[in-house]
Amino acid sequence: MIIQETNPEKAKLQIKKAKPPIIVKAQSDEFNRKLLEYGKFDVLIDLHSSKGKDKLKSLDSGLNHVLARIASKNGVAIGIDLDGLRKLDKKEKAIQLARIAQNIKICRKAKCQIQIINAKDKKNVQALLQSLGASSQQTSNQIT
């Protein structure tokens, strides 16, 4: 079940009623922080697709080291939806992959899990993640 609510309080109520695995779609920075601190769900997906502005020398990937540590402490994995990534045009896909690579690096430092949603071929997904900088330990736990 994917929860797409934009209000954090309503999302918490939906999380209480849902059956595992509970997946929450990322919204604003404040929403993501509140839900990661709440932490009673399994995966927070699509942090990289936030509409933040990229700076000259850094990307706004939707994740920072503080959020990654909170997610790691509360047992919430950071998720990547491959179906949404497949539907993008080439330029947007390249930008999203750069943001995913940055999120992988942050998750690796904070020892936060990465989960793949809607994967069809597990070996190709592992190869993609490793090419983006994930460790073999990060690529071993996947939701397909």
In the chain, where the domains are located: 2-140
Residue 131 or residue 142, greater confidence = 131
3-class secondary structure for the chain? CEECCCCHHHHHHHHHHCCCCCEEECCCHHHHHHHHHHCCCCEEECHHHCCCCCCCCCCCCCCCHHHHHHHHHHCCEEEEEHHHHHCCCHHHHHHHHHHHHHHHHHHHHHCCCEEEECCCCHHHHHHHHHHCCCCHHHHHCCCC
> For residue range 18-63, what is the model confidence (pLDDT) as tens digits?
998 899 999 988 999 999 999 999 999 988 876 667 777 778 888 9
pLDDT at 121: 80
Q: Indicate the pTM of the whole model.
A: 0.88
**Which homologous superfamily is 2-140 in?**
Metal-dependent hydrolases (3.20.20.140)
According to the model, what pLDDT value does residue 124 have? 86
